[in-house]
A and B are shown apart, each in its own frame.
Chain A
Amino acid sequence: RKEVEQDPGPFNVPEGATVAFNCTYSNSASQSFFWYRQDCRKEPKLLMSVYSSGNEDGRFTAQLNRASQYISLLIRDSKLSDSATYLCVVNEDGNQFYFGTGTSLTVIP
């Protein structure tokens, strides 16, 4: 059983499209949730934390559904520069972080 599961994609979308990624987690006691972005052959970088009330940062919206144990990331008005792998990350106990395998996004001109 994987702690965090994501659809690996790939998602290929045209510029300007809206795309959504989902991620499920297995431990209902998980405390904090994050989306990271990883470019090819680079380190993961924090995109945004995911709060219970949902949060938005420009074109990016993250939501958490504790009852169903999933988190989502919505990207509006996709840009070529959004092409990357998006990692879902869950922190269960304040110590260890559990990573999904990532969802690959390619934005096509």
Chain B
Amino acid sequence: DGGITQSPKYLFRKEGQNVTLSCEQNLNHDAMYWYRQDPGQGLRLIYYSQIVNDFQKGDIAEGYSVSREKKESFPLTVTSAQKNPTAFYLCASSGTSGSWNTQYFGPGTRLTVL
């Protein structure tokens, strides 16, 4: 089955620790995205990547880092510099040809800082 997988589903972190969230897609999409969603709020863009070995900051990149070494993988690291990391993290991918590219989402990772 084609799709996007994220792991883990739930993640607990102690303050001061870095954690890495996994995102893998087998849709052969060039573009991948990381969003953060807080309760009762919309999605906010953290980072996105249009092509391997290249990525851009979104609206709330501070305290996060990413890499794009492979087309199918776009891991997100939440660093200790992120002051309020507890949230629902969503990874998405899309094609890049044409103007009607559609985003597809993974099931998300819920991160809780203890």
Chain A residues close to B by CB (< 8 Å): 31-32, 34, 41-46, 49, 87, 89, 91, 94-97, 99-102
Q: Which B residues lie within 8 Å of A32 (CB)?
A: 99-101
Contacts of B107 in A (CB 8 A): 42-43
Cα separation A42 to B107 with both chains bound (whole Å): 6
- Bound together, the chains give a CA A97 to CA B43 distance in angstroms of 10
Q: List chain A residues, Cβ under 8 A from B100.
A: 31-32, 49
Check A43–B106 contact: CB distance below 8 A: yes
Count: A-B pairs, CB below 8 Å: 52
A33 CA / B89 CA spacing, docked (Å): 23
Residue B34, interface by CB 8 Å: no
Q: List 8 A-B contacts (CB under 8 A).
A: A34-B102, A42-B107, A87-B43, A89-B103, A91-B99, A95-B31, A96-B45, A97-B94
- Whether the Cβ atoms of A43 and B90 lie closer than 8 Å is yes
Are B104 and A46 interface neighbours, CB within 8 A? yes
Q: Which B residues lie within 8 Å of A97 (CB)?
A: 33, 92, 94, 103
Least CB distance, B109 to chain A, in whole angstroms: 10
Q: Which residues of B have CB within 8 Å of A96?
A: 45, 48, 58
Contacts of B103 in A (CB 8 A): 34, 46, 89, 97
The distance in angstroms between the C-alpha atoms of A34 and B99, with both chains bound, is: 12
Residue in B42, B50, B108 whose beta carbon sits within 8 Å of that of A43 in the complex: B108
**In the complex, what distance in Å separates the CA atom of A30 from the CA atom of B105?**
21
Q: What's the minimum C-beta distance from B37 to chain A, rounded to whole angstroms?
A: 9
Chain B positions within 8 Å of A89 at CB level: 103
Decide yes or no whether B17 CB sits under 8 A from chain A.
no
Interface members, chain B 20-61 (any A CB < 8 Å): 31, 33, 35, 41-43, 45, 48, 50, 58
Q: Give A42 Cβ to nearest chain B Cβ, in Å.
A: 7
Residues of A within 8 A of B31 (CB): 95
Min C-beta distance of B2 to chain A, whole Å:
14
B96 touches A94 (CB 8 A): yes
